Chain A
């Protein structure tokens, strides 16, 4: 029973890590988007 619990706990932590990784990637892409928006604003002004 303890072996099964251990494996189940491992599975749950893996799921949590996968989700946290997706969230971190989403936030990174959002940051890149904001930086891109700044660049576009400046480029539009120049044009």
Chain B
């Protein structure tokens, strides 16, 4: 084991990392755009209920409150699903880089022990 071979091996291991990150972060953004769209829709419905309450007080129910509430809950659930997917993608990106970093740190440690790596 020497710095050159460790470097070659690591470069090979991380050769796809940039593309993976670009893809994952792009997917996170796309999902976020969808999520914002869904959120905008349920906020519009929510504001319909609140507008009615402001005009008529909270004791009188909006004629379509049940229907609106159900739709709002559906959209919120859809948003939550999208967000869970985003969390998974973000954790995947973290795992990918952490895996390579950990391996490199281990190899650097071994090279330093053998005195094969020039000091910083």
Contact = CB atoms under 8 A, between A and B. Distances in A.
A and B touch in the complex (CB under 8 A): yes
Interface of A: 2-7, 9-10, 13-14, 16-17, 20-21, 23-24, 26-28, 30-31, 34-35, 37-38, 41, 45, 47
A7 B69 CA distance: 56
B37 interface: no
Interface residues of B, number: 40
A28 B83 CA distance: 8
Contact of B3 (A6, A17, A31, A35): A6
A3 B117 CA distance: 6
A5 B83 CA distance: 38
Given A30-B86, A47-B58, 19 more contacts: A2-B7, A3-B118, A6-B10, A6-B111, A6-B117, A7-B120, A10-B105, A13-B97, A16-B21, A20-B93, A20-B97, A23-B25, A23-B90, A27-B87, A28-B90, A38-B76, A41-B46, A41-B76, A45-B69
Consensus secondary structure, chain B interface: helix
Interface string B42-75: 0000100000000000100000000001001100
